[in-house]
Each structure stands twice: as C-alpha cells, then as structure tokens.
C-alpha cells in the first residue's frame, strides 16, 4: 500500500531521464581526488557538482502569508572543484529570479544568468555565468504561490482556526521550488537562515530550533552539519513546544500538543536505544513537529525536527513505529545518504530495518514481528505485479532504467528484509557492530549501493567467508521477487487473529470480547487484511456493530476497512468515507480508498465530489496523485 502512494509520487519523476542533457565530460586538467568519487549522475538535477559545489547556504528570507510566497536572498559559499569551470548551475522550479550577484572584493557585482524554460519534472535550469569563479554568489528570488514544495493553509484549515499555517516538503525534488539550489543529495552543505514573518506565528526549520524562542516575527537558524537539499525544511504557524526529555520534544498547535506529547512520550527511550545500537545521536536535539492532517506523508526526517502526520496519534501508542522510523533516519539517510533516488533503499531499507530494531528494543519481539509481517505480506502480494526491473533493490551499474520506483515497497521492505537476512547469517552481535561501523565510516557522505557492497565485502563478508555466498548477495541486491533465503517471521498475535477470523467466517460467531479488547492496531489490520475480496453486507454490518470500524479515528484501520466496504457494496459507510478522504491528506491512507471508489461509476462520482470539496485543503502532492487517478479512471469509462 505504502508503495502505491510512493509510486504515484515518483510518477512525476518518470520523464526525468529523457529530458536531461548529458553532463559534459570531465575536463582533463582536473586533479584526481585521492578517492575517486563514483560517477553516479543524478538524473533529477541540472547541477554539476563535480565542477562546483555549494559548501554553505545563507538564507535571508521573508515568509509572506498574504502573497503565499517565500522570498529574499540565498547566498552560496562555493567550492570550485574544477579549475576550468566558469558557470554555476542551479535547480529552480517556478521561482522568480530578481537578480544574481557575485562577491568581488568586498562588494557585490551583478552576474549574467539565464533561466531556462520549465521542464515539467525538473523545473527550470538556472545557469549563472561566473567567469571570476566567485567564492560567494547571491540570488534574489521569490517562490510561487503554487510552489510544489510548500503548502499554505488558511486559519480555517488549522486546528485552532486563528492563524494561518505553512510547511515545506522538499523530498524528493521540491526544495528547488522554495530555494534555488543544487537539488541533489550528492551535494551537502551547512546552512543558516534569517527568516521574517508576521509576528504572531512561530517559524521552525530543520535546524537549531530553540524550545524557548519567543514569537516576534524575526528568527534565526543554524544547521552546522552538512545536509543534502531534500532535508531543507521550514514550517510556520500557531506552534507551541512541550518537552519530552532534555533533548527532545513536540511542536504542535496548542490544541494538539498535549495529546501528541503523551503519544510520543517514548521518544527519548527510542533515541537511547538507537544510540546503544549504532552510536551517538549526532544532531543535538531531536524534536517532532505535528502537522495538520493534510500532510501528504506519514513522516519526514527533517534533521533535528521530524515532520509527523497527526494520523498516528490514536491514543494508545500503537503507531509510534513511525517515530522510530523518522528517528532512525538520523543515522540511515541523514548521516549516510543515498547519492541519488536510484539508491533509495540505502535510505529507506536501512531505516525500515533500524525502525524495527527500535520497536523490538522498546516494545518487544512480538510487536516488531507483527510490523514485519504486515509489511512483508503487502510486499509479497505486490512484487509479482511490478515490472521486473523495479523488483530489485538496486539497478546494476550500467543498466538504464526509468528513474521511477526508487522508493517503493521494494526499497523499504525488501531492503529491511535483506538486512535482517544478513543479521541472521552473521549473528546479531557481529552485524550490529558492522552497521555501527558503516554509519561511522560514511558519516556525512552520500553513497551508492556499490559503495555499500564494497564496504560490506571488506568488513563483513570477507571476514566470515562461508556465511553468505556472492550469489546470495547478488540475488538480494539485483534479483527480482523475494529470494528463497528470506527469513520467515512468526507472530503469535497473528495466529490468534487468524484463528478468530477463520472461526467467524465459518460460523458467524465473533471472537470473545476479552480477546479482541486486548488487540492492538496491528492485529485489527491483520484481521481485516485476511478477509478476502468481499464480504456480504450482513457480515460487514455485524463487524461494524461490534467494532465500529466505520468512522474509526485510526487511519490504518480506515484504509483497509473502507475499500472492503466499497468492494462489497456496503453503502452505509459512504458518508464516513467521504469525511475521511476530505479531512485527511496523507496519501498512503486515502489513495487505496480513492482507488477502490473509481472502479464503479457511482464510486467515481463520489470520489470526484469529495475531491472537489477537499482540494483547497490538500497538499499539491496529494492533489497531483488524486488528479492523476481521477483522470485515468474518467478516461477509462
Ligand atoms: N523520507 C520518507 C518520506 C518520503 C519518501 C518523502 C520519498 C518523499 C519521497 C519518510 O521517512 C518515510 O518513509 N515516511 C513513511 C513512513 C514510514 C513509517 C514508512 C510515510 O510517509 O509513509
Ligand atoms: Zn523513511
């Protein structure tokens, strides 16, 4: 399911490979670096980081809620790597560029530049002429109210209804819609920002947010560690802070902050457990920002400030593996980063594995196994239907592939499964030490699958030569389907759920209330997932009377229950279905509902009506996914 939403997000990126011109060949005079950097061209960026790279970014920007724009200056400190390079190429999308200047002596002098026509996927290439190879270049710009990486919410769309709200979502290639950048994970830079806004909103960034900051419309930030552009983040609104521990806490709207802090109260324990496994947390504070329900993802690992959907706040902490996931990215992703989305599994697969280890450390093996089982059942169901080339974790070097599908269930769940396979073969102690060494070795670098494999060969495989074969590794990384060597998961909790479901389907007898009262979200999910394509309306009614699925506040249950009711013609659920998809914008939860609706003419009509009402409150990413689905369905009718 997760993959489907991500697939749709990646669909936008599909054309990228075709519309790119090849980067010019390296110039002979370039001195060879001591360690050859892998030539792994990022098809989603116009930047030429092997010629010149941003080392530091200083932003001086204003957040304008009336105009729905972010504008001001971006000043880059540059590292000129190629001694003959005379241009700085930046990625932009829908930005208005007012002027470009270069620092010369102590003064700023205008530079010539050209903003190319907009490519639908990549945006507009900004080519700046820098014959003097200036150490600093400054761009004055304004974002568009339709910036793909920002959402602007009116006060009515917020919890408190008093103040407007805005937030960014830069991954995968949306940072360029609010800052001109070398928008590729191959470039890492430090940043600082001076941000002004109306004085009644709090502004936060993926940087050193001060829990005690006062609202005055004038904020400064520093991110002293080098980060890739997709981790640039900003949010502003009626945000208050509540601590969880000395280094962790929650930012949220006042009406939400207590519930969120309670739900996420285990965060400090999660940080400590991850440090125990993989070494110190290197980013100083770890705070979470709870976004409005329109946030299109579950979470986003913006450094020092994960962005979190409110849909995981269900009152019993059963969905906090999402926090474990975003926290885990502080090692896998933010510290050691994929060098392009083609190596997505290095971020998401490693993170899903670490997430599961955190869940196991805090909540026990059984909970961790249930989570693995849910993810793997979905992967098993889906992988066979995917194009062969997208079933492998990584594309063999030299293979040209559509730049799609980098972040599917394959990256997340086959990736985590591969690491669990290695853990079982080498033993937990050895594998934990290896992974810790890997995070240290590649800290603050962006790497390819092949760099991981080389490192693993030297530091794991060759050290214990008979534990895994080369062929097994090749099959995991480059093969299709699920390898025969995949470890199986056992869950007692799920056996009990299976038994209850089978008994009910056979006899109509619902399980004992004492039993189901103790079920956690994962068991309800598993209970529903095993129901098959359809049930009778009477059966659905019986379940609804007993468990009140229709109208549930738990999105993980809703995203499974509503499609089942639609397929089965259980029309009583319709008003609540409409409410759900109009209130929530998280794609993973609502796309399965839309997908089921569009299969019939009445369903399609309902989907269109709901979408029309929801659209002003949806994020551009969600709008894009729903629009694409509705257009396809309408064309097919
Ligand atoms: N980094 C991802 C979100 C993302 C991926 C945004 C690709 C844009 C492109 C984040 O860490 C993530 O994986 N979020 C998941 C939650 C997780 C528990 C699997 C999500 O949003 O569903
Ligand atoms: Zn992730």
At 104-139, the pLDDT tens digits run 999 999 999 999 999 999 999 999 999 999 999 999
Q: Report CA(39)–ligand 1 centroid distance (Å).
A: 27
3 state DSSP class of 76: strand
The token pair that represents 76 in the structure block = 């880059």
pLDDT at 439 over 50: yes
DSSP state of 180: -
Question: pLDDT averaged over the chain?
Answer: 93
Residues sharing a CB contact under 8 Å with residue 474, sequence separation 6 or more, in sequence order = none
Start-end ranges of CATH 1.25.40.320 in the chain?
A: 531-635
The pick from 175, 318, 335, 348 for probing ligand 1's pocket by mutation, whose C-beta has the most ligand atoms within 8 angstroms, reads 348
3 state DSSP class of 33: coil
pLDDT at 148 over 70: yes
**Ligand 1 atom 16: residue of nearest CA:** 298
Average pLDDT over residues 618-623: 95
pTM of the model: 0.94
308-to-79, 171, 298, 322, 324 alpha-carbon distances in Å: 35, 14, 6, 8, 11
Architecture of domain 531-635: Alpha Horseshoe (1.25)
Confirm or reject: Cβ of 348 under 6 Å from ligand 1. Answer: yes
Confirm or reject: Cβ of 174 under 6 Å from ligand 1. Answer: no
Alpha carbon distance 539, 132 (integer Å): 75
Residue 171 CA, closest ligand 1 atom number: 8
3 state DSSP class of 224: strand
CA atoms within 13 A on the CB side of 468: 25
Go through 621-634 and write b for each residue having 16 or more CB atoms within 10 A of its CB, e for each that does not. bbbbbbeebbeebe
Average pLDDT over residues 220-248: 98
pLDDT at 297 over 60: yes
Q: How confident is the model at residue 637 (pLDDT cuts 50, 70, 90)?
A: confident
The token pair that represents 110 in the structure block = 């205008």
Q: How confident is the model at residue 397 (pLDDT cuts 50, 70, 90)?
A: confident
3 state DSSP class of 167: strand
418-to-255, 346, 481, 482 alpha-carbon distances in Å: 42, 11, 12, 10
The token pair that represents 187 in the structure block = 């470039």
Confirm or reject: Cβ of 300 under 6 Å from ligand 1. Answer: yes
pLDDT at 34 over 70: no
Q: Report CA(344)–ligand 2 centroid distance (Å).
A: 10
pLDDT at 548 over 90: yes
Looking at the chain, the whole-number percentage of residues with pLDDT higher than 90 is 89
Average pLDDT over residues 189-214: 98
Q: Report CA(45)–ligand 2 centroid distance (Å).
A: 21
Which sequence positions are flagged as catalytic? 326, 412
Q: Read off the pLDDT of residues 566-588 as tens digits, 9 standing for 90 and up.
A: 999 999 999 999 999 999 999 99
Q: How confident is the model at residue 395, as a pLDDT?
A: 82
Confirm or reject: Cβ of 596 under 6 Å from ligand 1. Answer: no
By the 8 A CB rule, do 170 and 162 touch? no
Residue 355 CA, closest ligand 1 atom number: 18
What strand order describes the sheet that includes 234-237?
A: 150-153, 165-168, 234-237, 202-205
Say which residue, 530 or 26, is predicted with more confidence: 530
Q: Which ligand is nearest to the CA of 322?
A: 1
3 state DSSP class of 205: strand
Helix locations, 470-536, DSSP H: 470-478, 492-507, 513-517, 521-529
pLDDT at 198 over 80: yes
Alpha carbon distance 560, 544 (integer Å): 13
Average pLDDT over residues 402-425: 86
Residue 9 CA, closest ligand 1 atom number: 9
The token pair that represents 601 in the structure block = 């003419």
The pick from 231, 299, 301, 413 for probing ligand 1's pocket by mutation, whose C-beta has the most ligand atoms within 8 angstroms, reads 299
Average pLDDT over residues 58-86: 98
185-to-6, 287, 343 alpha-carbon distances in Å: 19, 23, 11
Confirm or reject: Cβ of 322 under 6 Å from ligand 1. Answer: yes
Start-end ranges of CATH 1.10.390.10 in the chain?
A: 331-478
Q: Does CATH place domain 331-478 in 1.10.390.10? A: yes
Say which residue, 3 or 321, is predicted with more confidence: 321
599-to-7, 115, 300, 509, 627 alpha-carbon distances in Å: 19, 43, 31, 32, 15
Q: Read off the pLDDT of residues 40-63 as tens digits, 9 standing for 90 and up.
A: 789 999 999 999 999 999 999 999
Q: Read off the pLDDT of residues 149-174 as tens digits, 9 standing for 90 and up.
A: 999 999 999 999 999 999 999 999 99
**Ligand 1 atom 18: residue of nearest CA:** 322
């Amino acid at each position: 399911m997760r993959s489907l939403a991500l697939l749709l997000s990646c669909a936008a990126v599909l054309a990228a490979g075709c519309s790119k011109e090849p980067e010019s060949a390296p110039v002979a005079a370039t001195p060879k670096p001591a360690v050859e950097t892998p030539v792994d061209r990022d098809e989603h960026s116009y930047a030429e980081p092997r010629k010149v790279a941003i080392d530091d970014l200083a932003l001086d920007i204003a957040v304008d809620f009336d105009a729905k724009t972010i504008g001001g200056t971006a000043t880059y400190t540059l590292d000129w790597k190629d001694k003959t390079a005379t241009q700085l190429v930046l990625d932009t999308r829908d930005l208005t560029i007012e002027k470009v200047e270069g620092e010369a002596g102590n003064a700023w002098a205008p530079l010539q530049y050209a903003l190319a026509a907009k490519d639908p996927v990549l945006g507009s290439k900004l080519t700046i002429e820098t014959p003097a190879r200036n150490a600093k270049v400054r761009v004055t710009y304004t974002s568009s109210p339709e910036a793909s990486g920002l959402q602007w919410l009116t006060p009515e769309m917020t919890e408190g209804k008093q103040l407007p709200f805005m937030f960014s979502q830069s991954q995968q290639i949306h940072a360029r819609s609010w800052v001109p950048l070398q928008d590729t994970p191959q470039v890492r830079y430090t940043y600082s920002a001076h941000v002004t806004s109306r004085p009644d909103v709090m502004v936060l960034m993926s940087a050193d947010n001060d829990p005690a900051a006062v609202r005055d419309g004038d904020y400064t930030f520093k991110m002293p560690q080098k980060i890739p552009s997709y981790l640039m983040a900003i949010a502003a609104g009626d945000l208050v802070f509540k601590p969880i521990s000395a280094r962790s806490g929650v930012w949220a709207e006042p009406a939400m902050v207590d519930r969120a802090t309670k739900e996420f109260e285990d965060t400090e324990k999660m940080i400590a457990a991850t440090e125990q496994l993989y070494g110190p947390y290197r980013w100083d504070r770890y705070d979470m920002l709870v976004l409005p329900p329109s946030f299109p993802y579950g979470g986003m690992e913006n450094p020092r400030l994960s962005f979190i959907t409110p849909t995981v706040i269900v009152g019993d902490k059963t969905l906090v593996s999402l926090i474990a996931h975003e926290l885990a990215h502080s090692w896998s992703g933010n510290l050691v980063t994929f060098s392009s989305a083609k190596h997505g599994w290095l971020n998401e697969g490693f993170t899903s594995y670490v997430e599961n280890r955190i869940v196991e450390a805090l909540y026990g093996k059984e909970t961790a196994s249930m989570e693995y089982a849910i993810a793997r059942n979905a992967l098993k169901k889906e992988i066979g239907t995917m194009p062969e080339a997208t079933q492998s974790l990584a594309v063999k070097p030299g293979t040209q592939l559509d730049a799609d599908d980098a972040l599917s269930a394959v990256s997340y769940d086959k990736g985590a499964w591969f690491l669990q396979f290695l853990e079982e073969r080498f033993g937990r102690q050895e594998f934990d030490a290896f992974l810790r060494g890997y995070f240290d070795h590649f800290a603050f670098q962006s790497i390819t699958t092949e760099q991981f494999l080389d490192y693993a060969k030297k530091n794991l495989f060759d050290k214990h030569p008979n534990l895994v074969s080369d062929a097994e590794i090749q099959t995991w990384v480059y093969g299709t389907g699920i390898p025969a060597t995949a470890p199986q998961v056992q869950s007692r909790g799920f056996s009990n759920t299976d038994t209850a479901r089978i008994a009910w389907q056979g006899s109509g007898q619902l399980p004992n209330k004492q039993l189901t009262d103790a079920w956690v979200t994962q068991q309800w999910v598993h209970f529903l997932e095993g129901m098959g394509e359809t049930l009778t309306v009477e059966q659905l009614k019986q379940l609804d009377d007993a468990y009140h699925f229709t109208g549930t506040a738990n999105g993980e249950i809703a995203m499974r229950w509503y499609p089942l009711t639609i397929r089965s013609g259980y029309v009583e659920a319709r008003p609540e279905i409409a409410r759900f998809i109009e209130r929530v914008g998280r794609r993973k939860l609502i796309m399965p509902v839309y997908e089921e609706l569009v299969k019939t003419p009445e369903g399609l009509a309902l989907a269109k009506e709901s979408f029309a009402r929801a659209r002003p409150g949806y994020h551009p990413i969600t709008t894009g996914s729903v629009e694409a689905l509705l257009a396809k369905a309408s064309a097919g009718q």
